[in-house]
Amino acid sequence: MGALFTKETQAIFWNNNTSAIQRMLDYDYTISRTKPSVAAIVAPTSNNKFEKFFYGPDEIMVPVFRNTKEASEAFPKADVLLNFASFRTAYDVTMEAIAIKGQFKTIMVTAEGIPERLARKMNQAARDAGVIVIGPATVGGISPGAFKIANVGGTIENIVNSKLHRAGSCGLVTRSGGLFNELSNIIAINADGISEGVAIGGDRFVGSVFIDNLLRMESNPDVKYMILLGEVGGTEEYKVIDAVKSGKIKKPIIAWCIGTIAKHFSSGVQFGHAGASANADAETAAAKNKAMAEAGIFVPESFNDLPNKIKEVYTNLKAKGVIKDIVEPELRTVPKVRRAKEFICTISDDRGDEATYAGYPISSVATPDTGFGIGDVISLLWFKKRYPKWATEFIETVIKTVADHGPAVSGAHNAKVTARAGKDVISSLVTGLLTIGPRFGGAIDDAAKYFKYAHDHNMTPADFINYMKKEGKTISGIGHRIKSVRNPDLRVSGLKKFAAGNFPATPLLDFALEVEKLTTSKKDNLILNVDGTIGILMVDMWRALGYPEDEIDGFIDAGTLNAFFVVGRSIGFIGHILDEKRLGMPMYRHPMDDILYNVEKATDL
């Protein structure tokens, strides 16, 4: 045991509660944490990949996941779950988190009114797994100067006023969340603030109880004394009394149970929380206050007298030298006015002396002596990674391979017609590019997608062919107008040769070639074509580079493969456009005898 949280502690925040998360990040900035305290957000219904937050004057992006498991896999060191699910789902969220072995040390549950039986199961499951549950029905807790849960402490101004921005010497445990803040304030005024504090929650069954927290604080050398604010109802305070009597707790405790009013009213009025209802004399606030005083716990005359008691104990410990002076730390100030940025850029930056591509100054990649080719630039700007030589060379090979395919293909033809209409290079290029899609060039995307799908699902080549037949789809990447087994496409041969000589492995290509064997046995020209080979080898490249499958799927969905085709073929289109300009060909009009006219008079409806 020891401190509940450190300055390294990171949480996964379940529910995209932006205001609470922003308060955590404002706190992080104020106390100069190096990493934000919220590593990730879980939002089951969100389609966003991240949420933007302010971090001081700047903004940061916090990743958003659909479930806790994915978030924890991405952030294995985030060992706190802040469960802000509603009372209907909080139990399931907690149980799911406990089941992720070794991930969470602490789970805070904010929902109020979880069915008691579910709360008991959840608390027991956590205890069995060695996970600390704070709550349910709590605002949370704080380790000042290190980590703050959600809304604890309120506004940043109040946090500084209540000295919650740096560690003091008191360990604070309350039931109520509202009074937690108040106690922090009282302790800041009458002593030197708190070292660690937890509001255990107002429901009848809460995970960690007073004694759990006080024992941890007893073992934490930064805590010099503890304050316990209990309530009428329950017997938890007696466990504390036993620990004091048996010497398990030696540090001074100041304690008070609220709800002394209840003795004046026989029944029917519920004073305070769900957990606060005295079922026996021993559970009344008065009886507990008396018993605590008798055990040697410092108990004030009344709640109104609590500040004086704190001052007395603190001054005494200070005089004895148990508590030392605190050097007040420097604080960073969160700007009052901040503007959210409309655009985000994560690939290049022109703010410094020299613009950079993914952190590389342009001069360090531009000239031949740098060793960077166009493949390297693409890997930096498209993937924000420096790819190894074999991969950048493969990218360059692809671009060179697809640069042109003669004037007759639809894109080149369009570009030529536009250029002959007198339009400029850009307009002409664009008309060419606009033809790229499902029928022209798009086969690269679909080949990658479907072959990968088949391979991911362990289909045999025969399964795959049947599957595509059932789906009513032709197999993208298979088939050529002219080329066949006996008359192979030398572009494909080149790509395959390069891959065989340079790729660490080509599992998807190997699979595709097995498919080709079956298709060509039916018809000679059903070969793996150049589009298919490129798409499939790109997947093999990314796999060999260590990308997870879902990220590769993301590349395919985003149209990245088509983008290679666009870059390469633009070279060819521009060539055709310049060719037209050079030749000075006139406006093109399609010969009428090449059009079948079949126009009937429209019928009246």
Q: Is 266 in the site for other proteins (CB under 8 A)?
A: yes
Is 576 an active-site residue?
no
How many residues bind other proteins, per CB under 8 A?
65
Is 82 among the residues that bind other proteins (CB under 8 A)? no
Q: Vertex 359, ends 353 and 365: CA angle to 5°?
A: 85
Q: Which residue bears the tokens 């604890």?
A: 152
User: How would you class 204 by CB atoms within 10 Å of its CB: exposed for 0-12, middle for 13-18, buried for 19 or more?
Assistant: middle
179 lies in the site for other proteins, by CB under 8 A: yes
Contact track, other proteins, 119-138, x by CB under 8 A: -xx-xxx--x----------
* CB 231, min distance to other proteins, A: 7
Given the structure tokens 């007893």, which residue do they identify?
218
Segment interacting with other proteins, rule: CB under 8 A, options 260-268, 343-351, 370-378, 394-402: 260-268
Strands 348-349 and 253-258 come out as unpaired
Nearer of residues 38 and 468 to other proteins, judged by Cβ:
38
Q: Is residue 153 involved in binding other proteins (CB under 8 A)? A: yes
Here's the x/- map for other proteins, 97-116, by CB under 8 A: it reads as ----------------xxxx
**Rounded Cα–Cα distance for residues 25 and 35 (Å):** 10
Does 267 interact with other proteins (rule: CB under 8 A)? yes
Can you say how many angstroms the Cα of residue 186 is from the centroid of all Cα atoms in its chain? 37
**Quick one: 185 or 392, whose CB is closer to other proteins?**
185
Scanning residues 309 to 338, which ones bind other proteins (CB under 8 A)?
Answer: none
Does 264 bind other proteins (CB under 8 A)? Our answer is yes
Distance CA 2, CA 147 (A): 14
Q: Packing angle between helix 116-129 and helix 90-99, nearest 10 degrees?
A: 20
Judged by CB under 8 A, does residue 177 bind other proteins?
Answer: yes
Amino acid at 534: I
Nearest in space to 541 (alpha carbons), one of 350, 307, 383: 383
Q: Is 269 in the site for other proteins (CB under 8 A)?
A: yes
* Cα atoms in the Cβ-side hemisphere of radius 13 Å centred on 367: 3
Which secondary-structure segment (H or E) carries 382? helix 374-383
Which stretch, 261-269, 456-464, 538-546, 570-578, contacts other proteins (CB under 8 A)? Answer: 261-269
DSSP label of 105: S
258 lines the binding site for other proteins (CB under 8 A): yes
- How many residues belong to the chain? 605
- Indicate the pairing of strand 356-357 with strand 348-349: antiparallel
| Shortest distance in whole angstroms from residue 158 CB to other proteins | 6
Q: Which is nearer to other proteins, 3 or 114 (CB)?
A: 114
Choose which of 59, 70, 96, 182 interacts with other proteins (CB under 8 A): 182
Q: Cα(365)–Cα(270) distance, rounded to whole angstroms? A: 72
Contact indicator for 38, 24 with CB cutoff of 8 Å: yes
Closest to other proteins by CB, 39 vs 149, is 149
Instruction: Rank residues 155 and 474 by Cβ distance to other proteins and give the closer one.
Output: 155
Cβ distance to other proteins smaller for residue 185 or 356: 185
- Peptide bond between residue 329 and the one before it cis (omega within 30 degrees of 0): no
Q: What is the 3-state secondary structure (H, E, C) of 421-448?
A: CCCCHHHHHHHHHCCCECCCECHHHHHH
Q: Which of 36, 89, 160, 303 binds other proteins (CB under 8 A)?
A: 303
**CB of residue 157 vs other proteins: minimum separation in angstroms?**
9
Angle at 460 between CA 454 and CA 462, to 5 degrees: 105
* Binding-site member from 19, 34, 346, 598 for other proteins (CB under 8 A): 19
Name the active-site residue from 273, 455, 480, 576: 273
> Which stretches of the chain bind other proteins, using CB under 8 A?
19-20, 87-88, 113-118, 120-121, 123-125, 128, 139, 151-155, 158, 161-162, 174-179, 181-182, 185-186, 189, 202-205, 231-232, 235, 258-261, 264-276, 285, 302-304, 307
Residues with catalytic function: 273
